[in-house]
Amino acid sequence: MKYTEIKKKTKDELNDLLIDLKKENYNLRFQKKNGQLEKTGRIDQVKKDIAKIKTKLNEDFLGEKNAKKNT
């Protein structure tokens, strides 16, 4: 997922997506442990997507905080 796609989503959509990605990450790790995972690169991609979403949410939070501070 590209960061430009993440920027277009609302806060609620990002939170839902974050929950889904965390579940997928858990399932992928479980599959890897059992030796059932075929695409091991998917784990890294999910981790990166989680980081991108957290970055966007944190950016929005800090942006609101700084906006209140400046008024």
Q: Would you kindly state where each structural domain of the chain is located, as residue ranges?
A: 3-70
The domain made up of 3-70 has a fold known as Helix Hairpins (1.10.287)
User: 69 pLDDT exceeds 80?
Assistant: no
The number of beta carbons lying within 10 Å of the beta carbon of residue 5 is 9
Mean pLDDT to the nearest integer, 15-21:
97
- Can you say how many angstroms the Cα of residue 34 is from the centroid of all Cα atoms in its chain? 25
Give residue 63's pLDDT.
Answer: 85
Question: Are the C-beta atoms of 61 and 43 separated by less than 8 Å?
Answer: no
Mean pLDDT of all residues belonging to the chain = 91
User: 65 pLDDT exceeds 80?
Assistant: no
User: 45 pLDDT exceeds 90?
Assistant: yes
Give residue 31's pLDDT.
Answer: 96
